[in-house]
Amino acid sequence: MTFKDFDFHPDIEKGIKIAGFKEPSPIQKEAIPIIQDGLDLVGQAHTGTGKTAAFGLPILDKIAKGEIDRALVITPTRELATQVSDELYHLGRFAGIRTLAVYGGVGYGRQIALVHKGVHIVVATPGRLRDLYKKGKIDVFNPEIVVLDEADEMLDMGFLDDVREIFEYIPQNRQTLLFSATMPEPIKELADTLLYNPEYISVVGEDTVKNVDIEQKFYVINENQRDEAVVRLLESENYDKALIFCRMKREVDRLSDYLNALGFNVAGLHGDIEQTDRDAIVKAYRRGETRILIATDVAARGLDIKNVTHVINYHIPFDPQSYVHRIGRTGRAGKQGRAITLVSTEEFRELQRIRKEVGANMQLSTIKVEHSLGDDDINILAQRLDETAIHPQIDKVLSILSDMEQATFIKKALSYILEREVFSDNKIGYDENELESMLNSYEKEQKVSKKRRKRR
């Protein structure tokens, strides 16, 4: 199947060709004919599956053919609003279709003026859109198609009441499309309330974590090894763009400062950053000017960045669904991606729960470390050599290596010692045997503690 099978307007086909789209993705194959027929739709699909084009192309086609005049897309975040607006503009520009992103954090004036001037598609966040409708600032904009994008994210961010209020200002004789990665009960209820006899489609199938294009690895480390582990991974991994997830804003700031001080090309993203700065950070990352983005889950919501080759979980996410969303940022469009998770020994059992619940195929790994000796290490080595007695069989070793020059022998002998010295660990993380031994010890301790509690 190709995009020509949808019989799009020639100007829309031109936009598709310039965008480099070859054949429709599963969500596009299923959604586009339904939208073309004018039916309401509930579509379940993860970010990065091509759903913007799935709803965008038939909407653009209807505008290009004069079947409708206006459409509205509601997204949970400013970043996603900008991103969707940009994609729709590029796909519809040859048909002269005008798009506008509407969101908070900037002045009302320009957005209101552009709506009144005449735009075909408004892509907006719920809070700003509700305010504009409530104050009567954009009464002229009456969309014939409305899209709720990333509905579960809007639920998580507390926007459902805003969404319901927005629909009070929108014409009843509309076509409504709802897209969501998950379908919790409040989203099902919202669909029942706002949509008329919708078609239901799902292309989620197996969870994103089962995607064969994502190699998943984890490292069981000591808590004080996190920073060094991230540094070693960034030094050893061949990444195009890396996305590092932290749990808290202060971790984002601290890790960003730390990695920047070491010379890495890093930017941090979280909710306390001003909107203009957030826009600049995302644009720089999207263009590849910044290669490493460190973000919280909330700040990264709705981000759909191409060519993210590595996702690194600095801390394990709070729940299985967050893990699915995080690693789904890589391994897209048939390209290989790698998801890496750092867990402390205390967090390992939580990781096991996530692995079991989402069916993730994660491989235990260690990070090889090439240590350079500091002055303290050298002094310790010198002291140990001075205190070491000569082994009784050293003469046999010397006889076997009698052809080796004395200086070369000394260098090789010392290098052999250095590779095995306890003060120069050559890896970060527990290997399989060490982890098993540690867990067995932990289980024995738990049993002893349980017996003691029973005696009490």
- Return the domain boundaries, the chain: 3-202, 208-368, 375-424
Q: What is the pLDDT of residue 175?
A: 97
pLDDT band of 415, cuts 50, 70, 90: confident
Q: What is the pLDDT of residue 399?
A: 86
Q: Which tokens belong to 72?
A: 């509205």
Q: Is residue 452's pLDDT more than 80?
A: no
Residue among 150, 164, 185 nearest 300 (CA): 150
Residue among 256, 245, 243, 375 nearest 297 (CA): 245
Q: Is residue 115's pLDDT more than 50?
A: yes
Could you read off the pLDDT of 263-305 as tens digits, one per residue?
A: 999 999 987 888 788 889 988 998 999 999 999 877 776 677 8
Q: Which tokens belong to 408?
A: 């070369």
Q: Mean pLDDT of all residues in the chain?
A: 85
Q: Is residue 425's pLDDT more than 60?
A: no
**Model pTM score:** 0.60
Range of 249-263, 325-339, 423-437 with top mean pLDDT: 249-263
Rounded to whole angstroms, how far apart are CA atoms 53 and 57? 5
Q: Is residue 88's pLDDT more than 80?
A: yes
Q: What is the pLDDT of residue 54?
A: 94
pLDDT band of 208, cuts 50, 70, 90: very low
Could you read off the pLDDT of 331-368 as tens digits, one per residue?
A: 876 678 899 999 988 788 778 877 777 777 888 888 87
Q: Pairing mode, if any, of strands 242-245 and 292-295?
A: parallel
Average pLDDT in the 411-435 region?
Answer: 70
Q: Is residue 210's pLDDT more than 60?
A: no
Rounded to whole angstroms, how far apart are CA atoms 331 and 210? 11
**How far is C-alpha 47 from the chain's CA centre?**
9
Q: What is the pLDDT of residue 424?
A: 45
The helix (H) or strand (E) run that includes residue 210 is none
What CATH architecture does domain 3-202 belong to?
3-Layer(aba) Sandwich (3.40)
Average pLDDT in the 436-444 region?
Answer: 70
What residue type is assigned to position 327 of the chain?
A: I
Angle (CA) 230-231-233 rounded to 5° is 65
CATH number of this structure's domain 208-368: 3.40.50.300
Q: What is the pLDDT of residue 422?
A: 46
Q: What is the pLDDT of residue 456?
A: 61
Q: Is residue 417's pLDDT more than 90?
A: no
Q: What is the pLDDT of residue 55?
A: 96
Q: What is the pLDDT of residue 207?
A: 42
User: How deeply is 426 buried, as exposed, middle or buried, from its count of CB atoms within 10 A (0-12, 13-18, 19+)?
Assistant: middle
Helix 226-236 with 249-261: angle, nearest 10 deg:
50
Rounded to whole angstroms, how far apart are CA atoms 12 and 92? 6
Residue among 125, 316, 114, 335 nearest 213 (CA): 335
Kindly report the number of other CB atoms within 10 A of residue 12's CB atom: 26
Q: Is residue 435's pLDDT more than 60?
A: yes
Terminal C-alpha separation, the chain = 71
Average pLDDT in the 27-51 region?
Answer: 89
Q: What is the pLDDT of residue 26?
A: 87
Average pLDDT in the 87-95 region?
Answer: 94
Could you read off the pLDDT of 117-169 as tens digits, one per residue?
A: 999 999 999 999 999 999 999 988 999 999 999 898 888 788 999 999 999 99
Could you read off the pLDDT of 294-342 as tens digits, one per residue?
A: 998 777 766 778 889 999 999 988 777 678 878 888 887 667 889 999 9
197 vs 384 pLDDT, higher one: 197
Write down the H helix ranges in 271-387.
Answer: 275-287, 320-327, 348-358, 375-387
Q: Is residue 402's pLDDT more than 50?
A: yes
What residue type is assigned to position 397 of the chain?
A: V
**Percentage of the chain lying above the pLDDT 70 cut:** 88
